[in-house]
Chains A and B, each alone.
Chain A
Amino acid sequence: MPSRRDAGALGVLLAHVTLFVMAPPVFDYLQVSPNRAWGPFQTLSAWDRSIRGPVVDEMRPVEALLGVRQNWHFYTTGASRTRHFEVWVDGELWHRSNDREHDFMAGPLANSRLRHHVKDWVRGKRVGQTQPALLNLMVERVRAEKPDAARVELRGLEGRWPGHVQTIVRRASADIPPEAP
């Protein structure tokens, strides 16, 4: 007769198996990027997609409901180019990424929840989603600091490492209407 401890131990075993199925090292990544597989991994990756893929797909709603999706292929090879985000107010540089002399809003812009929006904007990803809100946020904060500011400009810059020479690859600006008296 199985005891309560047996049932608990079975649950623990199932938890291990579930975690392994959701994110086995190597195959978790190859399922997302199958074109990266080489040699014998191509065959194994194809088997993985046809066997584990459907199982993991069935788990998606539960993963989303509990926010426990198991994808761990992060912090891979770093940025291919050096990039900066800049905020200019009335032609004056107020903020530049990782620059202590121009650190307006350095804390909020480095916040890990906002940082990815900024990074994507500089890289030209999801610009339509990010740019209006990012610009409005900057206008609001600039206005709080300098009520008579007339123009805010955001710039994204890119260059080869280590970044001695950079060019502007993204630009957005807003003219601030004077506040009603």
Chain B
Amino acid sequence: MNLWERWVEHCFRPIDARVPAALRIGLGTVTVLDMLRTWSHGLVPWLYRVDGEGMARPLAYYLLEPLGPDGPVTAFWVALVAYAFVALGAFTRPAIVVALLASAQLGQVGALTEQGVDHIVRTALLILLFAPCDNRWAVGPSKRREEVPAWSLDVITFLLVLIYMDSGFCKLFRDWNAWTNLAAHPATFRIMADPLSGVVDPVWAYERQWLFRGLDTITLIFECGAFVLLTRARSVWAVMGVALHLGLAFTMKLGQFPYAMLAFYPMFFVPEPKRGAGNAALQQLLGALKRKQTEESAE
């Protein structure tokens, strides 16, 4: 088998159809809940109206102008319904397209209202648009299948690796002193104890900076070493990722970020079927043993 054939085999190796379905449901549900939370706080018109009364200031690629000042508010509800359809697995592909376009326009309404995690969710959904992700756990009319090709999860894993490594390296490049200088306040202390975004008491945390020094080290190791998620040891690394995002969920006010990221993690804990000639031989042997057993029991 040459290199290309191995690549094709790798892309189309079968995985449990419930894995991409779980990712679809997770991302859709977290986004819907986050949008409902914004609505329940009564912030939708304040954040998205473009008549100068709210905080929105449209960017270059804002296309909803013909709909008037309420256009983004309409787009908010359209996106919310579309994300709900994505989560339910009803008309999944059209729903993903509508969710992408509508929520991207919301992002164009104001840079501050948009978050990095919105881009992550949309990029993952863009990948799932081309992949079977509604063959299980879906209410729509899609065909039920037990196994689907693994390539979509491979691309999404690669995306996460780029995100983590980019974030990790830029921490060092932006101000390596903040992460490595033992005399400076630990970066995680300054992040988690920031009253405007964290819930950790700065005075309490100030007395325990050694704790945050440890968290700094673990964060850098996890992010810069995120390429391990591409290897067979990924489940070990993913445990660190789960701990990191749970920590963020409990110590910071980041909205949907930690929960959307956690929605990606089930795929790292699902064991993949063993591949290769050795496995094929093993499967043949097991099949032969099973047939022999059946024949013996029939006799």
The verdict on B194 contacting chain A, using a C-beta distance below 8 Å, is: yes
Which residue in A24, A75, A111 is a CB contact (below 8 Å) of B37? A111
Restricting to A1-34, which residues have a CB under 8 Å from any CB of B? 5-6, 8-9, 11-13, 15-16, 19-20, 23-26, 28-30, 33
**A83, B195: Cβ atoms under 8 Å?**
yes
CB-based contact B196/A67 at 8 Å: no
Chain B residues whose C-beta falls within 8 Å of the C-beta of A162 in the assembled complex? 193, 202-203, 205-206
A107 on interface, CB distance cutoff 8 Å: yes
Query: How close is B281's CB to chain A, nearest CB, in angstroms?
Result: 23
Q: Which of A50-58, A122-130, A145-153, A171-179 contacts B (4 or more CB under 8 A)?
A: A122-130
Q: A25-B169, A64-B61, A108-B43 are in contact. Are A79 and B158 (CB under 8 A)?
A: no
B166 proximity list for chain A (CB < 8 A): 23-26, 28-29, 72-73
User: Chain A contacts of B103 at CB under 8 A?
Assistant: 67
Smallest CB-CB A-B distances: 9 pairs: A112-B255, A78-B190, A67-B104, A162-B206, A64-B61, A73-B170, A29-B170, A25-B165, A78-B191
Given pairs A112-B253, A115-B253, 8 additional interface contacts (CB within 8 A) = A9-B8, A9-B151, A20-B162, A66-B126, A113-B43, A113-B47, A126-B112, A133-B46
Question: CA A113 – CA B47 in complex, angstroms?
Answer: 8
Across-interface contacts of B8 in A (CB, < 8 A): 5-6, 9
Interface string of B96-134 (1 = CB under 8 A from A): 000011011101100011111011001100110010000
Q: A9-B11, A133-B55, A161-B190 are in contact. Are A76 and B170 (CB under 8 A)?
A: yes
- A72 close to B167 (CB less than 8 A): yes
Chain A residues, CB < 8 A from B66? none
- B162-189: CB near A (< 8 Å → 1, else 0) gives 1101111111011100110000010111
> Whose C-beta in chain A lies nearest to the C-beta of B163?
A72
Cα A117 to Cα B45 with chains together (Å): 14
Shortest Cβ gap from B237 to chain A (Å): 16
Q: A72-114 CB contact bits vs B (8 Å, 1 = yes)? A: 1111111110111100000000000111000000011011111
**Do residues A23 and B61 form an inter-chain contact, with CB atoms below 8 A?**
no
Across-interface contacts of B167 in A (CB, < 8 A) = 72-75
CA distance A61 to B169 in the complex (A): 27
Give the residue of A24, A111, A116, A117 whose beta carbon is less than 8 angstroms from that of B38: A111
Give the tally of cross-chain contacts (CB within 8 A).
Answer: 222
In the assembled complex, the Cα of A43 lies from the Cα of B208 at a distance in Å of 41
- Cα distance A15–B159 when bound, in Å? 10
Q: List 17 A-B contacts (CB under 8 A).
A: A9-B151, A13-B7, A19-B158, A29-B166, A29-B173, A29-B174, A64-B60, A64-B61, A64-B108, A73-B170, A77-B179, A78-B191, A85-B196, A161-B190, A161-B193, A162-B193, A162-B206
What B residues does A20 contact at CB under 8 A? 158, 162
- Contacts of B144-160 to chain A: CB distance below 8 A: 149, 151, 154-155, 158-159
Q: A79 and B256 in contact (CB under 8 A), knowing A8-B12, A30-B173, A108-B41?
A: no
Given known contacts A112-B255, A133-B46, A64 and B196 CB-to-CB distance under 8 angstroms = no
Query: Is A115 a contact partner of B158 (Cβ separation < 8 A)?
Result: no
**Max chain A Cβ within 10 angstroms of own Cβ: one of B43, B54, B168:** B43
For the complex formed, measure the closest distance between the CB of A84 and the CB atoms of chain B, giving whole angstroms. 5
Q: Are B190 and A112 in contact (CB under 8 A)?
A: no
Contacts of B169 in A (CB 8 A): 25-26, 29
Known: A113-B38, A116-B112, A129-B55. A97 touches B196 (CB 8 A): yes
